[in-house]
Chains A and B, each alone.
Chain A
């Protein structure tokens, strides 16, 4: 199979290359213009230069093609393994973690025994039964309340909620918990952060400054949309087709278009950038980025079957939907701060995607079949602009109608909650490899881990009116979500796409911060000279005036806040929350994290009897509690579970050697540094 593919690739490349060689002279200027800005263009330029050298050196020698025109082709095998690599990572993290938590392992069960809570379970566990894969059992109630509370609200549960939940005998108490969580205000914080990340809401991005005014307006818009459970098709229409003032909280969606700016090129580069952003964010298809430079054939042949069949001109059609998008800057500053602006996003009455550029971020745009402009045409199934509709309205209509929109959205949410996308990475969809009823060309396989499930979830999402809260609840209520992360049997990498156990993750930076607040009971405070300290980190506007305070990190409008508190920022940054621009959010461990958790005053200032309001001080004040009960309370509050008998046995002697107060402070320190504090498992 790989042989045929490889053969095809080199053939197509020869053709492609010879065409390129003929066009070298025409490309020269453009290629060098491109070089400055974009590696992707550099690829083109370099291959031109390399090509030129080759040609001049040895015209007659058919030198083997050693370098591809496109980095995708540097090693397509590797690209195709991207999903496999993620599976390995998810699997390894989970096995490593659960190897360590051996205490509660319980036997595997036949998938027939797993209750079908909804259609997700029917599809997943039937598949497992058919293929003879055993399932992990359902997780314990204590595991479930911590897992769901973290996943749905970003906080750890309150100890009294844990106790109540454990004592509750209602049969459908897990469903009831999910319902309560998705209707809490913390749910809004958590998912506003998620969508803020997805839309890259940042005040000072590399490509444009929206300023804190724009960022806050966008943040308010997202919070409001999540809070009112605005249907996702409506949200997407707002973001894509909305006109408005980037600083106006009710029109904050306008920042989505503003943030799509692509500097250092002609206007078409920004139209392209918006097309890429729309495709990636809403359809999970990033391959359009490649297509806006070149046809798919000869480039995406082994990477993306759908993309390989696409022409650059089709991608122009997508970009042309943004040809009339206007972004007008309004000066807000008084000299010398004249660069302080907000934007008015609107739609011009006229304007085309002209095929006439020779500099900037992308390859030369030249007339196609004699046409010097590209008409708007939806590249995933066709469709243009109707009468009475502007271009961005047309595009959002096409996207919402496209089944791929629902697929991509459910996959983003599935990936967030299940830690492994049905298509992974979640922005690498190949529309030509999603339908199990289509015969794949030789060498290609179906892309989704479970195509039937992806399709069913997409259908369900569409039929329920693109209801995000319903989608999130449906996943959280499934048995699939509620499996134990332990797998008391031979775990194989091949099992990953079956979701035969729950995969574990480290907590996000905000979750770590907020869990420490909640477990210790001490909220952050800030004060200014001559004034008493007040609760919360100060959030400031562009003129550095206080506009409000935030205590929970999950409520921050951006992942570089709070600017007002360097200590809190440094603590949060050490957990690699990213900056929505150049720095990716990752869940990797680092030395700095351990140093912070062990020694930072953020932790050390919260574990003592003397720290006003600390949970430890309250425990010590209650003289009726035995040492064992104190340990139990600390476990419930910090780890949302009861200690094991062995754990109590190991900790109790310290009450003798250290004395009650220091031992209690020490136990809280230990639990904040414990492995299971750092994980959602």
Chain B
């Protein structure tokens, strides 16, 4: 595949995307016909390569399970961050001076230190995947794809659960009596959050707006005493109606949901998860994302049954004036930097349950739904939608300081996939990696979907179509060893000069 250069906007594929004086791709409908062109071209080129180089895995492959992580924090960078301005930095005449491009990790990682100074100090904890390609360039469609690890247009796309719901369901058996919080909690999400699909509502993300004041509706406006009295009244007139069902199925037992809800109310443990100090709030950047990171830290620390946390951070759809301050990319990048770097600091400092740190047993994954156009900026001084993207991982058995894959000089396409499958990484592979880290068999095919088609956690993974990126893991770490390898490396080793 030829590299997709279009610094001068002369490329036939991309040209129609850029009518003069217009904002592009604000919604799925904009320029759809043009989209076909670019999608068609990108698609054919991209997906041809793995076929020409068939996967080495045969049909009926067994799952590769790493099992090094207990928790997952998945950060969806909504709007699609520019990869060439962040984790696959390409320096050119367009690069603002204050990005301060600096190399880290023995020269392997060129990073905009000035844009994200906090994370620059943590690069030794991060594995950066650069050979990642998005299958589509429509925000809503692709954000859904990221969350369900399959095409939303596919047979099961409309009923597919969020990866987090699958994790919650898989971890259900390991819940202990003191696990009073739901298995899947989402923070800072907008309208695009994908829920439990056809799974039982028990696995629906418990969607929370993080704030120092804690969770709403965990206290009653009339006070605890009166609430308790009323709850007793309710039991008195409803007691017989709220007995465990004769079939023993909590699913249909309204009382179990009331009991769980009441269990979360007036509970200092639950409160301590959702409430936090203004000092923490400020340290994490005083943003919705920062607040969510504090809450995520507290959730992991509390060990109250939550295993999958999704946090959304929007603002990356920089079609116009990407380098303008304080907006542009500086806004979301600043929030992301403050929130994630402090989360990494805190989790690495907190003791885990297996001898290592909490970071050692918590996989953090951050990515957008796709990348942005490369080279110099568009006529709107921004970057439009593009297939090449990045994914960042840390903790949970991930070997920090690693870069997987490389891209062309412009960042337009993958040069070296850098992993076993020798092709670009897609959403399904990322999902398989997450499941693998948790020790969940991603080739599982459930028999309970309403269409009876068989719901596969990662579609066709059992046939070797998609595969976990095992290269991100620290292979010196055995399954669930709890070793500290992920945190002993220092981020600023090999620090170099600006190119």
Contact = CB atoms under 8 A, between A and B. Distances in A.
Interface of A: 28-29, 31-33, 35-40, 42-43, 46-47, 49-50, 52-54, 57, 66-67, 71-72, 74-76, 78-82, 85-86, 92-93, 95-97, 99-103, 204-209, 261-266, 289, 335-339, 341, 359-361, 425, 560, 576, 579, 582-584, 586, 588-596, 598-601, 604, 647, 650-651, 654, 657-658, 662, 665-667, 669-670, 673-676, 678
Given A29-B44, A560-B191, A675 B238 contact: yes
Contact of A54 (B59, B136, B153, B195): B59
B260 A78 contact: no
Contact of A339 (B29, B144, B204): B29
Given A74-B454, A666-B230, A670-B230, A42 B460 contact: yes
A266 B40 CA distance: 9
A46 B465 contact: yes
A595 B54 contact: no
Contact of A596 (B159, B217, B241, B462): B217
Interface in B433-490: 445, 447-448, 450-454, 459-460, 462-465
A66 B60 contact: yes
B27 interface: yes
B463 A67 contact: yes
Contacts of A589: 201, 252, 254, 257
Contacts of B258: 594, 598, 673
Given A339-B29, A599-B218, A650-B237, A264 B47 contact: no
Given A42-B154, A53-B54, A75-B454, A662 B226 contact: yes
A670 B450 contact: no
Given A39-B150, A205-B28, 12 more contacts: A36-B151, A37-B136, A42-B154, A95-B245, A95-B247, A264-B36, A359-B40, A359-B43, A584-B198, A592-B207, A594-B260, A662-B226
A50 B463 CA distance: 7
B48 interface: yes
Given A32-B44, A46-B463, A670-B237, A38 B229 contact: no
Contacts of A207: 28, 153
B213 interface: no
Contacts of B150: 39
Q: Which 4 A-B pairs have the closest CB atoms?
A: A39-B154, A79-B452, A588-B201, A74-B454
A658 B229 contact: yes
B140 to A, nearest CB: 5
Contacts of B320: 336
Contact of B59 (A28, A50, A600): A50
B191 A591 contact: no
B261 interface: yes
Given A95-B246, A425-B450, A604 B222 contact: yes
B47 A35 contact: yes
Interface stretch (B15-23, B124-132, B285-293, B399-407): B15-23
Interface in B208-247: 216-222, 226-227, 229-231, 233-234, 236-238, 240-243, 245-247
B370 to A, nearest CB: 12
Contact of B40 (A33, A339, A560): A33
Nearest to B465: A46
Nearest to A596: B217
Contacts of A662: 226
A40 B155 contact: yes
Candidate in B44, B217, B234 with the most chain A CB atoms within 10 angstroms: B217
Given A99-B246, A675-B242, A204 B140 contact: yes
B208 to A, nearest CB: 10
A183 to B, nearest CB: 34
Given A335-B21, A666-B233, A39 B159 contact: no
A78 B446 CA distance: 10
A591 B230 contact: no
Given A78-B452, A650-B236, A591 B257 contact: yes
Contacts of A66: 59-60
Contact of A591 (B50, B151, B260): B260
12 contacts: A42-B460, A78-B454, A79-B453, A81-B452, A263-B32, A339-B27, A560-B191, A584-B158, A590-B201, A590-B202, A651-B233, A673-B238
A81 to B, nearest CB: 7
A92 B445 contact: no
* Interface SS, B side: loop
B246 A96 contact: yes
A675 B243 CA distance: 11
A223 to B, nearest CB: 25
Contacts of B36: 263-266
Nearest to B243: A100
A206 B451 contact: no
B39 interface: yes
Contacts of B191: 560, 579
Contacts of B217: 595-596, 598-600
Nearest to B461: A46
Nearest to B209: A570
B154 to A, nearest CB: 2
B425 interface: no
B67 interface: no
A46 B135 CA distance: 16
A653 B218 CA distance: 28
Contacts of B459: 39, 42
B22 A49 contact: no
B19 to A, nearest CB: 7
A659 B227 CA distance: 15
B409 interface: no
A35 B153 CA distance: 11
Nearest to B159: A584
Given A54-B59, A204-B27, A85 B450 contact: yes
Given A76-B452, A263-B138, A675 B246 contact: no
Nearest to A40: B155
B35 interface: yes
B137 to A, nearest CB: 9
B51 A32 contact: yes
Contacts of B253: 96
A582 B194 contact: yes
Contacts of B220: 598-599, 604
Interface string B37-73: 0011001101110110011001110000000000000
A75 B447 contact: yes
Given A93-B252, A96-B245, A264-B36, A39 B195 contact: no
Nearest to B181: A591
B58 A583 contact: no
A71 B156 contact: yes
Nearest to B380: A336
Nearest to B138: A263
A335 B22 CA distance: 6
B30 interface: yes
A359 B44 contact: yes
Contacts of B156: 39, 71
Given A32-B48, A95-B247, A675-B241, A590 B204 contact: yes
A47 B207 CA distance: 38
A100 B241 contact: yes
Given A359-B44, A586-B201, A28 B219 contact: no
A49 B56 CA distance: 11
Contacts of A57: 58
A54 B450 CA distance: 31
Nearest to B231: A598
A554 B229 CA distance: 33
Contact of B47 (A32, A205, A289): A32
Nearest to A658: B229
Given A39-B150, A341-B29, A582 B452 contact: no
Given A209-B27, A209-B29, A576 B201 contact: yes
B246 A80 contact: no
A593 B256 CA distance: 12
A33 B46 CA distance: 9
